[in-house]
Amino acid sequence: MDGNVTGINSEAAVTLPLAQGWQAGIGARLPWLGSEVAAQPLANPRWLGWSDDLAETLSLNRSLDLLALFAGQQSLPWPGFAQVYSGHQFGGYTPRLGDGRGLHLGQRGEYELFAKGSGPTPYSRGGDGRAVLRSAVREFLISEALHHLGVATTRALAVIGSDTPVWREEQETGAITVRVSCSHLRFGHFEYFFYTRQQDQLEALIRDSIDTLFPQLAAEPEPILAWLVDVVQRTAETVADWQAFGFCHGVLNTDNMSILGETFDFGPFAFLNQFDSGHICNHSDHTGRYAFDQQPGIGLWNLNKLALTLTPFLSETQLRDALAEYEPALVARYLARMGARLGLEDPTEEDLALITELLNLMGRSGVDYHLTLRQLGQCDPSGQDTPLHRQFQGQSDFDAWWLRYQQRLGGGTVASDWGQQRNRANPAILLRTHLAQQAIAAAEQGNNRPLMRLHRALTRPYDPRPQDHPFIEEAPSWSRSLTLSCSS
Ligand SMILES: Nc1ncnc2c1ncn2[C@@H]1O[C@H](COP(=O)(O)OP(=O)(O)OP(=O)(O)O)[C@@H](O)[C@H]1O
Ligand SMILES: [Mg+2]
């Protein structure tokens, strides 16, 4: 896959009967869920990025036919399908949204494949239906990065560049991310059918989702309640993972909330560099509604909006009880993650003070969140003068924290594989904004090698190979204050 972006590598051009292994998917089962749409082909498409392990899962080869399919130049025996949904955007309800710049192509096994950036649809609301290269590359990289960190996310099979001009602040080129998930249903789908008073469709959508995505719940005495509880728990766990890994989503509207609890729709996302609990990664988020420390509350706010759509089927008490599962599930998951990062056995809520104190200390010292935790895991916890002490030099608070930490660990020596265990919980490589920017700059100049090198490194965040070590670095000062807008 390495190589200049000169088109398709001829040895990769294996031609398969295109429709083999594909099924039409949810649009064929529930045609009222959206509209059939023909993609608008990209000009001179070429592969920029490709995920080998996902391709293997999907039994797909990087063929010319597949490139033509993803770029809208060929189609399967059925048309593309754009779904309708609505959603609460920055707190206000938008009654009609939908796939305005992407199409569902079909399913392979349990996975849906979606081409994001494939041209206008009935839901484009005046937009051009396109995605530009920089945003498509960022979505490709972060999807795969989060997956390999162990965070629930939609995935990305490929990113495709083209010569199609696309206007944003200046002329850029169009690109497509091929997104993969078992379901692209968002909270906003249920809101759409609820607020348009299409109760039969709403119920059919819930039933279809239970049958296809949560079949184990079909035999429950109250399948819809069990389904909501499951969605609440998945959402709580994913949000907890974001908080533990310092991931800031940026646009947590209900139309970007996955029914599977997957991280969904990547716009101005960022990982924290220094620990700044109020960090706002979205340049357009003037009030900080989606700031890093607001994400847990917003997750619950969004679940409330989903729960409202179930009022025709569930009592108020049932809805409240289901939503009450959110906080304990979130805290349990956060404790499990942070406990593993710090080596705390059987962490409980009492450990939250110890964890928070460390985060505050990190914030005050301006040290790198990820590298500091990685380094902490490599210190001898019975020691008094560790490399970490030198990082926090001059901070007597750190000495006090260290003492409490030692007491919590119980003193004495730790297991011989302590450092290895900590490394398995503390990633060394993250998709920092500047790393993505460097890969994008090269891809824009026609060279996708840096992109593929970075992608490969992101598949081993806990266990980097020697050639991946250049990616283990703090963000340079020029990139620390970068915020991104939704213009993608
Ligand atoms: N360039 C565009 N052309 C047409 N519609 C667009 C465009 N950009 C965004 N939209 C639509 O605006 C709404 C909000 O956009 P948002 O950025 O949340 O989603 P997205 O990134 O386009 O797609 P997804 O949520 O599927 O990842 C969606 O309905 C989306 O389809
Ligand atoms: Mg979206």
Q: Of the given ranges (1-5, 70-74, 226-230, 430-434), which has the lowest mean pLDDT?
A: 1-5
Which tens digits make up the pLDDT trace of 197-207? Answer: 999 999 999 99
Distance of CA 259 from the midpoint of ligand 1 (Å): 18
Q: Is 98 annotated as a binding residue?
A: yes
Q: Is 101 annotated as a binding residue?
A: yes
DSSP structural state of residue 112: E
Q: Over pLDDT 90: what percentage of the chain?
A: 89
Q: Which residues pair with 113 in a beta bridge?
A: 106, 180
Distance of CA 183 from the midpoint of ligand 1 (Å): 17
* 469 inside domain: no
**Radius of gyration of the CA atoms of the chain, in A:** 23
Our count of domains for the chain comes to: 2
Q: Tell me which of 88, 101, 251, 256 to substitute to probe ligand 1's pocket, judged by most ligand atoms within 8 Å of the beta carbon.
A: 101
Look over the chain and give the mean of its residue pLDDT values, rounded to a whole number: 94
For 193-216, what is the mean pLDDT?
Answer: 98
Which tens digits make up the pLDDT trace of 116-139? Answer: 999 999 999 999 999 999 999 999
Residue nearest to atom 21 of ligand 1 (CA): 265
Q: Tell me which of 83, 103, 124, 138 to substitute to probe ligand 1's pocket, judged by most ligand atoms within 8 Å of the beta carbon.
A: 124
Residue nearest to atom 19 of ligand 1 (CA): 265
Chain centroid offset of residue 78 CA: 29
Q: Which residues pair with 179 in a beta bridge?
A: 114, 156
pLDDT at residue 10 greater than cutoff 70: no
* 45 inside domain: yes
pLDDT at residue 181 greater than cutoff 60: yes
Distance of CA 42 from the midpoint of ligand 2 (Å): 21
Which tens digits make up the pLDDT trace of 330-375? Answer: 999 999 999 999 999 999 999 999 999 999 999 999 999 999 999 9
Q: How far is CA 137 from CA 17, 268, 401, 438, in A?
A: 28, 13, 41, 11
Q: Which two tokens stand for residue 206?
A: 């819930």
Instruction: Decide if 115 contacts 39 (C-beta within 8 A).
Output: yes
User: Angle of helix 295-308 relative to helix 223-245, nearest 10 degrees?
Assistant: 160
Residues with CB under 6 A from ligand 1: 97-102, 116, 123-124, 127-130, 251, 255-256, 265, 267, 486
Residue nearest to atom 31 of ligand 1 (CA): 100
* 344 inside domain: yes
The pLDDT of residue 375 is 96
Ligand nearest to the CA of 488: 1
Distance of CA 256 from the midpoint of ligand 2 (Å): 5
Instruction: Decide if 84 contacts 192 (C-beta within 8 A).
Output: yes
* 41 inside domain: yes
What is the position in ligand 1's atom list of the atom closest to the CA of 120? 4
For 234-262, what is the mean pLDDT?
Answer: 98
Which tens digits make up the pLDDT trace of 438-487? Answer: 999 999 999 999 999 999 999 999 999 999 999 998 888 878 766 676 66
pLDDT at residue 50 greater than cutoff 80: yes
Q: Which two tokens stand for residue 292?
A: 């890093």
115 vs 479, higher pLDDT: 115
Side chain identity at 274, as an amino acid letter? Q
Side chain identity at 329, as an amino acid letter? A
- Distance CA(237)–CA(15), nearest Å, equals 41
Q: Is 100 annotated as a binding residue?
A: yes
* 16 inside domain: yes
Domain boundary among 187, 212, 247: 187
pLDDT at residue 417 greater than cutoff 60: yes
- Distance CA(48)–CA(449), nearest Å, equals 9
What is the position in ligand 1's atom list of the atom closest to the CA of 251? 18
Longest dimension (CA), the chain: 68
The pLDDT of residue 483 is 66
The pLDDT of residue 488 is 75
* 32 inside domain: yes
Ligand nearest to the CA of 114: 1
* 213 inside domain: no
Catalytic positions:
255
Chain centroid offset of residue 392 CA: 32
Domain boundary among 187, 222, 244: 187
Instruction: Tell me, yes or no, if the pTM score tops 0.90.
Output: yes
DSSP structural state of residue 415: P
Domain that holds residue 25: 10-187
Q: Among 182, 181, 193, which Cα is nearest to 34's?
A: 193
* 278 inside domain: no
Ligand nearest to the CA of 175: 1
pLDDT at residue 296 greater than cutoff 70: yes
Task: Collect residues with CB below 5 Å from ion ligand 2.
Answer: 256, 265
